Structure 1
């Protein structure tokens, strides 16, 4: 049963917050800036209103997730700190003497209450609404780009991750008391994930039975991390047995550099507020997300008159779309993607970082060749032919209708029309275009902030659902921090 949390908590000790929490503390400013009642309204249908035990207030649970994002803590370490950190308790609207939740409640909240909620758009729209209300967003320009997040299991398998974290935990214990080595279970010697999970569970039980050892911070942190990993993998064992991370895909940062994971496609205002985001698997093309980013930014309340992006966004469909909607597109033309004629567009996408096409299975072309043809009705054409690894094609699950059995090569050709998009070519030579292009550094800096300050380099759980929660809470956090900074220069 759900019950609205009272806006005022009655306790004789509430005055301690005014004494120990500075007026300019980030959590105090966030509490003052945001009316979190929108969380209750969004999640109320996920709870029973007239039966059962009273549930933990959803606003409080949501704030726990924000704290996890802001301070990059495991569930157990987060709850433990919430028990003694007065700033945390103040942010959670708890009395100083009030008991904190059990850490297992956070996992249940994520999986049972946030399912089927479009959390990413909800939280971004809320911050944009606040920014517009406070007069922070004044521009009509968005800057677009993507940033990649490596899978939790990149480049290791779930079993290898468990092995590494178990090893780190053992080392921490040995540094305190090496004699415990004799009590530890025998290491797993099989290749089975189930056996490694069983070993890790036994290791955890032995260490937790030694209460003194568990009080050492150098032991407690790797212990909690291993426990959280084991808990997550037990629930997703059926999924991850067949793949390191079933939702994650191989993407390319260059022709020689790849990653296994996800992409977050972002739109950023000139004031550096994220106005829209699209979460995809790693192999997706950046340019294909532009129209969605623009429409989402508009839905959030942003007026869009100009879009700034790199060459990935200058494909023909985007030029036509922005022209139809009276939007300036500050994106240089790239001859490999502003093509005139291309067959099977849904099966082959251009990766601007690698400068190659990627097939439906996610395989990158290994080389390309440039040739010229001349057709009477078209004039002189430039044709780029991209060649794929034939050995991969032979084993590919999508080879039917794509690869002809017995063929010695597999190629894909793109015809580039000379003289296409002359209007855009003229525009990109203007001083205005060149000056606006300089604004792109802002989104690169924002990507760096997401990764280096808020742990966005690596996924904290398996699957797109877990990645969406991480994306939503992280972007919500960085947007609020930016709004606070702009309001208090």
Structure 2
């Protein structure tokens, strides 16, 4: 069950925050600047308002995740640190003597409550709103471009994350006991996700069997992060191909399997819109959506700055109708010729070639 409003119990110890958490502390600044109540409205449909046990405030749970992201720590460690770090408690709107949540509640929240929630555009909208209110955004120009994102089912991405976190764990251990290298398991040298998971589990086991090492706070933090990464990887491991991802091209010779994130941002470097497509899609066709979302987020757009991919006939027509100036090099290859709509090919400016509707790169 979720109450309409979180009840805040003030205590005589709350004045400690003014003594311990300085005004220049980044968490104090964020908390004082942003009203996080919009999180409650966004996640209300994820909870029952009449039945069940009293739920933790979704706003506070979301703040736990922000702390976890800002400091790159596990669910277990962000909760543990919130017990004694006064800046964390201040950020979470807790009294100094309040108890923290069970880490399993945070794990459930990030895996279930945030499912199917468009947090990306929600947070972009809030960021733009605050930037406008504070007078940070003054320009009426937006810069547009796209970046590549590997599919979650791509095994090399998971391996890279696991290897990086196991590496950080080993380096931390060696700062305390350089001789521990002799007791480490043999590293996995194959690009095989299953073998990497086996290696990480064996690494965890050997460290946990050495209390003199595993009890060191710095080691414990890195160990917990690796364990959480292993669990998440196992839970999301998909042997079948991601059906939504497609092969995209960074150049005529190199490709990737995944998605494209199309972005718009102001000259002040504030992101105003984001659209995610499969990897084979061209950049140009997403410009109307980027303009529309930017305008919905409160940006008065009068100029678009981008590369040749955004200067197609349709885009020039749409921007002309809205009196928006396009600053981009004209490229004749993106005009599509006289093809019928059903036969149109997307132009991939990275590979400088057309991509057919099925996602295949043209050879001529």
Would the TM-score normalized by the shorter structure come out above 0.5?
A: yes
The equivalent residue for 2:266 is 269
Q: 1:301 to 1:93 in 2, by over 3 A?
A: same
| Equivalent runs, 1:157-168 vs 2, <5 Å | 158=158, 162=162
2:155/2:192 contact within 8 Å kept: no
Q: Deviations over 1:72-113 (max 9, x none)?
A: 434344333333322221111112233333333333212211
Partner Cα separation in structure 2 for residue 90 and residue 248 of structure 1: 41
2:173/2:180 contact within 8 Å kept: no
Q: Deviations over 1:114-134 (max 9, x none)?
A: 223222222222222233334
1:9/1:93 contact within 8 Å kept: no
1:253/1:353 contact within 8 Å kept: yes
Q: CA deviation at 1:357?
A: 2.3
The equivalent residue for 2:55 is 55
Partner Cα separation in structure 1 for residue 293 and residue 133 of structure 2: 18
Look up the SS of the partner of 1:17 in the other structure.
helix
2:150/2:157 contact within 8 Å kept: no
Q: Given the alignment of the two structures, is residue 285 of structure 1 paired with residue 286 of structure 2, yes or no?
A: no
Q: Given the alignment of the two structures, is residue 81 of structure 1 paired with residue 109 of structure 2, yes or no?
A: no
Q: CA deviation at 1:59?
A: 0.3
Look up the SS of the partner of 1:242 in the other structure.
coil
Q: Given the alignment of the two structures, is residue 41 of structure 1 paired with residue 41 of structure 2, yes or no?
A: yes
Q: 1:202 to 1:187 in 2, by over 3 A?
A: same
Q: 1:25 to 1:168 in 2, by over 3 A?
A: closer
Partner Cα separation in structure 2 for residue 217 and residue 345 of structure 1: 60
| Equivalent runs, 1:230-379 vs 2, <5 Å | 230-237=230-237, 239=238, 241-243=239-241, 248-342=245-339, 348-360=345-357, 362-365=359-362
Look up the SS of the partner of 2:264 in the other structure.
strand
Partner Cα separation in structure 1 for residue 105 and residue 191 of structure 2: 32
Partner Cα separation in structure 1 for residue 246 and residue 72 of structure 2: 25
Q: 1:80 to 1:341 in 2, by over 3 A?
A: farther
Partner Cα separation in structure 2 for residue 246 and residue 176 of structure 1: 46
Q: 1:249 to 1:79 in 2, by over 3 A?
A: farther
The equivalent residue for 1:440 is none
Q: 1:91 to 1:301 in 2, by over 3 A?
A: same
Q: CA deviation at 1:18?
A: 0.5
1:76/1:224 contact within 8 Å kept: yes
The equivalent residue for 1:223 is 223
Look up the SS of the partner of 1:115 in the other structure.
coil
Look up the SS of the partner of 2:332 in the other structure.
coil
2:61/2:106 contact within 8 Å kept: yes
Partner Cα separation in structure 2 for residue 195 and residue 333 of structure 1: 49
Unaligned runs of 5+ in 2: none
Q: 1:177 to 1:211 in 2, by over 3 A?
A: farther
Q: 1:2 to 1:346 in 2, by over 3 A?
A: farther
Q: CA deviation at 1:278?
A: 1.0
Look up the SS of the partner of 2:331 in the other structure.
coil
Partner Cα separation in structure 1 for residue 189 and residue 307 of structure 2: 49
Partner Cα separation in structure 1 for residue 58 and residue 79 of structure 2: 16
Q: CA deviation at 1:58?
A: 0.3
Partner Cα separation in structure 2 for residue 159 and residue 124 of structure 1: 30
Q: CA deviation at 1:195?
A: 6.8
Could you tell me the TM-score, scaled by structure 2's length?
0.83
The equivalent residue for 1:432 is none
The equivalent residue for 1:474 is none
The equivalent residue for 1:460 is none
Partner Cα separation in structure 2 for residue 61 and residue 254 of structure 1: 42
The equivalent residue for 1:145 is 145
The equivalent residue for 2:110 is 110
Q: 1:190 to 1:138 in 2, by over 3 A?
A: closer
Aligned residues: 363
1:249/1:261 contact within 8 Å kept: yes
Q: CA deviation at 1:185?
A: 8.2
Highest CA radius of gyration, 1 or 2? 1
Q: Given the alignment of the two structures, is residue 101 of structure 1 paired with residue 96 of structure 2, yes or no?
A: no
2:156/2:191 contact within 8 Å kept: no
- Superposed CA RMSD: 3.5
2:146/2:262 contact within 8 Å kept: yes
Q: Deviations over 1:333-369 (max 9, x none)?
A: 112112432457667322112212234554444xxxx
Q: Deviations over 1:220-263 (max 9, x none)?
A: 344223212221122223x2x234x6655443333345445443
The equivalent residue for 2:125 is 125
Q: Deviations over 1:351-394 (max 9, x none)?
A: 112212234554444xxxxxxxxxxxxxxxxxxxxx2xxxxxxx
